[in-house]
Structure 1
Amino acid sequence: MKHLLVVLTVLGTSFAASSQQKWSLEQCVEYAIENNISVKQADVQARMDRLTLDQSKAALFPAANSQHNMGYQFGRSIDPTSNQFTTNEILLANHSINVNVDLFNWFRKRNTVAANGFAYEASAAKFDKARNDVALNVANAYLAVLLSNEQINAASVQLQQSREQRDNIKKQVLTGALPELNLAEMETQLANDSATLIGARTDYRLRLLQLQALLNLDAAAVFNIQAPPVDSIPVEPLSELEPAVVFNAALANLPQQKINELNVKAAAKNAQVAKAAMYPSLGLAGGLDAKYSNAQKLIPNAYKTGIVPIGIVALNGADYPVSSIGPQTYPISFKKGNYFNQLSANFSQNLGIGLSIPIFNGNQARTNWKKAKLNVEVQELLLEQDAQTLKQDIYQAHTNAVAAIEKFHAAQIAVASAQKAYDFARKRFDVGLLKPIDLITNQNNLFKAKINMLSARYDYVFKLKLLEFYKGYGIKLHR
């Protein structure tokens, strides 16, 4: 029992340690790519399109089918082995193998293979796009959690300062140096700072839950992330992220552009497939067939050629034999018509060539061809539209990045000014030249300035990361 308790204790400690492990951005992205439902759906669709491509390649080979039928026949019918009418009950069987070969069909099958090949490549690119989208969303959520963590730290510092000031004022109130109103004002500020810290922690937890949802993690699971300082997050200089350069790189690297280009190619091949349906097609067919019938008891196994008597004619009271005109081949001996003997005796072969010419089918083939050509135009317009949207998004992202950096610099100046104002106010308060409410105002101004600077910093980091993503650098939070 003691050993069991020791083992359970060790396992519990190991599990707790592993459950408390903090996730890096790379771990989050890798886990999301492996477990996110959208990525899995894209992967399944790509595999389905691969099967469609393989099937169209297999369709290039001749088609072969084997049929085996058995039945019971009664009433007036035809014996399939003798081709004679009969009223006997017959047990019959038929075995056949048929082969069909397309000799020429205006490259319909080859173009189908090409179209399915482009469709599969597009699906593979969609899978890459799903992975990229998840990585970008995870990075955005990750940075939001980091910002919330920084806000918790700032709120904690603010609360600690308010607590120290409250304690200092309380001592002065007890000695009669300050009125109780000052203590009440500081108690109010302390309560507000406590509420701010609670709100920051709640926001942090909610953002963690949003990140867990992107990772497809159970919301009840213990989860936390690494919190690298924002100063350590590498970003490309804005001069290296000019919108024209980023746009050209995005056209070459982003999966969406590849998807659209491949869809255009697939649509063009499908148009050729639809056009082939308006022209004649040539095919070759052949087969082997064998039959059995229990009505066929005997099978001829030897033949003779000669004059065959076919009957007697009575003339003037005398009978005269009547024979065939010319020699004929007729059986002279028989063997038992069992199952395998009949299959051998009734074995037949066929070979033929066929030409199919479409004449009129309600204009269906021509209409399908016209629709296929219009679909090419649709895909080309979609390619152009997505390129325009991408360019618009990149230029807008660059403008937002410039504004975010300028906003961050302005926030830095605001923090420096607010810090200077608070330091002066604190000195005046310490010597009794400033009311607590004025000190609280300066303290709140400094706190808001710090929060605004943190938000501005994370905002410009993400906007630069977005430009890096468009350029094809991926998402990283370390060098």
Structure 2
Amino acid sequence: MRFKISILLFLLSVGTIIAQMRKWTLEECIIYALENNITIDQFELDLENAKIDKSDALGNMLPGLNFQNTTQASTGLILDPTTNGFVTGTIFSTGGNLTSSVTLFDGLRNIHSLNRAKLNELANQYRLENLEDDISLNVANSYLSILSNKEALKVAQAQYAVTVEDLKRTRELVESGVLPRGDLLEIEATAATQEQTIVNNENLVLLSRIALAQLLQITDYENFDIASEEFNVPPADILKYSPKVIFDKALTFRRDVKFSETNVALAEKDLQIARGVSYPTINAFMNYNTRYSDQTRDPITGEKIAWRDQLWINDGISYGAQVNIPIFNGFSTRNGIKRAKISVEQARLQLDQTKLDLENTINQAYVDVENTAKAYEATQKTLEARRLAYDYTKSRFDVGLINAFDFSQAQARVDNAEAEVIRNKYNYIFRIKVL
């Protein structure tokens, strides 16, 4: 028994270690976010309801069929349902009705309702897909933020390692009397500043990891981490096209636009349904009924007629049609049509607003890509120049031509330039993905 418990504890500990060692890729983060988002679950339920509504609308166009049975026992002066005569005594009777009805014409409301249900299902699908796109983009942005902070941390740590070597060499030169003690203090101050930068970058990595974990609804922040994926700067081929061309293309597939377009079609169907209320309604029906009574007797022999025979003797069929013509209903029909017209105009205005927002977003994204591309290129050139200046300054510092303060300033400029390159790199990658 102890052996089994030990094995179980060992397997649990191994499982915990494996879970802690797991590194999430971007694809895994997006898939997990889509599978565990509460709003997505709610939208999926709305979509299921829309499918049920479509089934209801289809069922309303089909004939209805209902069966009704009444069985009773009566004592005293009672009405015999088979003869419609009063008798005294105890009667056991039963009767059944099978009724079918169908709507022949209702101002095409059933047809419009079915088409509306189909559009509503499509609208819910677009809404769900649009939410999935937004979540995927948010996860990607948060993921890239972690990578950017991690890369900045690595750079800071590498710079600190170089400073530590400079610090050792400077201390030896100071102790041998080659350099003044002020140079050592300056290098020590630079090392302390870089240590603080490392601490700040570690905090940024932790905070960005927590932000992504919260977005994924993962509570184990301490063990959550992402894989060290390499994201190269993609080519900006999309800048070959103008914002107008990109906008026209986006109109053909953007889910938010499709959703707004479908809402216009839904409002138009609601208007058709409202207008259908003012038309006459024609229904057809057919009814088959039969009955049995234990008091029914053969008029010749006086014997009770059997239950099965009575069902055939006492049965009957009725059928017909019913016309309902609306004449006046307190302005409700007319006001319903007016409200439906207003809803159509509101849906069209919302569609125009959605297109306008999309066009503004594309123009802004286009400018962002151009600006971040220039900024990224400029920071790369700046970093190259800062490194050359640093190498020149270091060579002069090594031979004692400049003091430690000037040398630390050159190194700080390189540190800042490298941090700017990293920030602009990932900002540029994300802006291209947005566009």
Residues 242-275 of structure 1, C-alpha deviations (whole Å, 9 max, x = no match) = 3112111100111111112222112212211110
Q: In the alignment, is the contact (CA less than 8 A) between 2:92 and 2:294 conserved in 1?
A: no
Distance 2:406 2:222 in 1: 45
| Aligned-pair CA distance for 1:89 | 7.2
Contact 1:414/1:449 (<8 A) preserved: yes
2:393 to 415, 425, 442: 425
1:451 paired to 2:419: yes
Residue matched to 1:210: 211
Whether the 8 Å contact between 2:209 and 2:221 is mirrored in structure 1 is no
Rounded to whole Å, the distance in 2 between the matches of 1:285 and 1:45 is 36
- 2:44 — aligned with what? 43
Residue 193 (structure 1) shift = 1.7
CA distance in structure 2 between the aligned counterparts of 1:195 and 1:179, rounded to whole angstroms: 26
Tell me how far 1:280 sits from its aligned partner: 0.8
Cα distance per residue 1:261-320 (max 9 Å; x no partner): 22211221221111010111111112223345xxx542133xxxxxxxxxxxxxxxxxxx
TM-score (norm 2): 0.89
Q: Using the alignment, how far apart are the partners of 2:56 and 2:150 within structure 1?
A: 53
| Structure 2 CA distance for partners of 1:338 and 1:190, relative to 1, 3 Å | farther
Q: For 1:70 and 1:176, locate their aligned partners in 2 and report how far apart those are by CA, in whole Å.
A: 120
Equivalence for 1:441? 409
Local SS of the residue matching 1:209: helix
Preserved contact between residue 82 and residue 296 of structure 2 (Cα < 8 Å): no
Q: Which amino acid aligns with 1:277?
A: V
For 1:325, the equivalent position in structure 2 comes to none
Say whether the 8 Å CA contact 1:96–1:288 is kept in structure 2: yes
CA drift of 1:2 comes to 8.1
Q: State the Cα distance separating 1:461 from its structure 2 match.
A: 1.5
Distance 1:358 1:397 in 2: 55
CA contact (8 A) 1:247 1:390 kept: yes
Match in the other structure for 1:319: none
Contact 1:37 1:216 in 2 (8 A): no
Most deviating of 5-14 and 361-370:
5-14
- How far apart, CA to CA, are the structure 2 residues paired with 1:12 and 1:109? 62
- Say if 1:74 and 1:379 are closer, same or farther in 2 by CA, change over 3 A: farther
1:145-188 deviation line (CA, Å, top 9, x unaligned): 11111111111112212222222232233334445444444333
Bigger CA drift: 268-277 or 28-37? 28-37
Which letter does structure 2 place at the counterpart of 1:433? L
- Distance, in Å, in 2 between the alignment partners of 1:221 and 1:67 is 66
- Aligned partners of 2:20 and 2:258: how far apart in 1? 40
- Structure 1 gaps of 5+ residues are 302-330, 468-479
1:73-222 → structure 2 map (5 Å cutoff) = 78=79, 80-84=81-85, 93-220=94-221, 222=223
Aligned to 1:384: 352
Tell me the residue number matched to 1:283: 283
Q: Is the 8 A contact 2:233 2:425 kept in 1?
A: no
Match of 1:350 in 2: 318
Note the C-alpha offset of 1:7: 9.2
Query: More displaced, 341-350 or 436-445?
Result: 341-350
> 1:299 maps to what in 2?
296
1:206 positional shift: 2.1
Deviations 1:97-124 (A, max 9, x none): 2211111112111111111111111111
Q: Residues 351 and 238 (structure 1 numbering): CA distance in 2 closer, same or farther, change over 3 Å? A: closer
Highest CA radius of gyration, 1 or 2?
Answer: 1
Moved more, 390-399 or 409-418: 409-418
Q: CA RMSD in A?
A: 2.9
Distance 1:336 1:73, change over 3 A: closer
**Structure 1 residues 436 and 288 mapped into 2: Cα distance closer, same or farther (>3 Å)?**
same
Partner of 1:245: 245
Name whichever of 388-397 and 401-410 sits farther off.
401-410
3-state secondary structure, aligned to 1:103: strand
Partner of 1:65: 66
CA change 1:429–1:345 in 2 (3 A) is same
Q: Which amino acid in 1 is paired with 2:341?
A: K
Deviation at 1:450, TM superposition (A): 0.9
Classify the secondary structure of the residue corresponding to 1:225: coil
Equivalent residue, structure 2, for 1:395 = 363
Percent of aligned pairs sharing the same letter: 28
Check 1:401–1:346 CA distance in 2 against 1; reply closer, same or farther (3 A cut). Answer: same
User: SS of the counterpart of 1:298?
Assistant: coil
2: CA distance, partners of 1:123 / 1:450: 46
User: Aligned-pair distance for 1:79?
Assistant: 5.2
Which shows bigger deviation, 72-81 or 52-61? 72-81
Partner Cα distance (2:353, 2:360) in 1: 10
SS at match of 1:253: coil
Give the TM-score normalised by structure 1: 0.81
